[in-house]
Amino acid sequence: MNSVVPAPDALVGRRFDVAAAKMLGVSRAKASELIEARRVRVLGRMMHKSSPLLAGDVIEFDIGEEYREAEPLADDMGIAYEDEDVVVVDKPVGVAAHASVGWTGPTVLGSLIGRGVHITSYGAPGRQGIVSRLDVGTSGLMLVCKSELAYKEMRRQFSQHEVVKIYHALVQGNLNEDRATIDAPIGRAKVSDFRFTITPAGKPAITHWDVLERFGKATLASVNLETGRTHQIRVHFSSLGHPLVGDPMYGANPVLASRLGLDRQWLHAMRLEFRHPRTHVWTTVDSHYPTDLQHALDVLNADRAGRDRADSDEAGLHARTA
């Protein structure tokens, strides 16, 4: 396996052997062996195993499969829809779309194959059958192709923005409008290889949203993605001054996230609508909130009910003393 990847933000400042061990899912001793053999190295500068990783470092891996541990399976990943051509999974948080250097947890593709689900061989090696992805920290519906026919057609539908992708997002603060569209190009941020930002040099990105519920300190919105850029919803709402609750990378308040019991961004892929690749029948698949996201809403509802009771009691007191 030969790969080149930027140093993850979470590992910047860590010892090189510790960082390499975490990225490969191997012991620190094995990582040290690979570093000493120059099979794991930082491009452009010499690194000892105890040297700290710096922001902007690019790591090259030249190792064999013997250093990769067996991938764990996502046993709790539900199947929302399946036929001979496609399978739509309800991806839990903490599951990647496919394997990559630096990720040692379960993947959608690996878990499907581990269950005996046939996946087409079409697509890049290790990413076969995948025509769209969800971030590790985002839960919800994700479509994978089982047949060659489905891969060709669904890839076309996604690239032509014909698939309807509805997300629910909980954003900080009270959105000024009940519905709006954000049309702003997105590209990589100069400050980090893993963050994205609005930039004239970016790719076109269009996000439509409608308010579902207001809690005062946060707003629940239904989001329709016309395009599918990396971190699109997170970047667009952050640009409005309303980052997703639980998303400190884009400016969220960690105190609110802790109050709601969240350790990831409140974002869920709720609905997929597409034309079936074989039958051409318009197909809709729906999901539901996972436990952690529902708990956050329950806390907000309880807070709102408490404020309403307090306001009612105060109004009653004023009426009696008037």
Point out the residues that are catalytic: 135
CA distance 124 to 261: 38
| Beta-carbon contacts of residue 82 (< 8 Å; ≥ 6 apart) | 88, 117
Among positive and negative, which fits the CA dihedral 168, 174, 179, 182?
negative
The three-class DSSP label of residue 229 is: coil
CA distance 245 to 3: 33
Give per-residue burial for 102-125: e unless 16+ CB within 10 Å, then b: bbbebbbbbbbbbeebebbebbee
**Packing angle of the helix pair 28-36, 16-24 (nearest 10 deg):** 110
Placement of tokens 């399976």 in the chain: 73
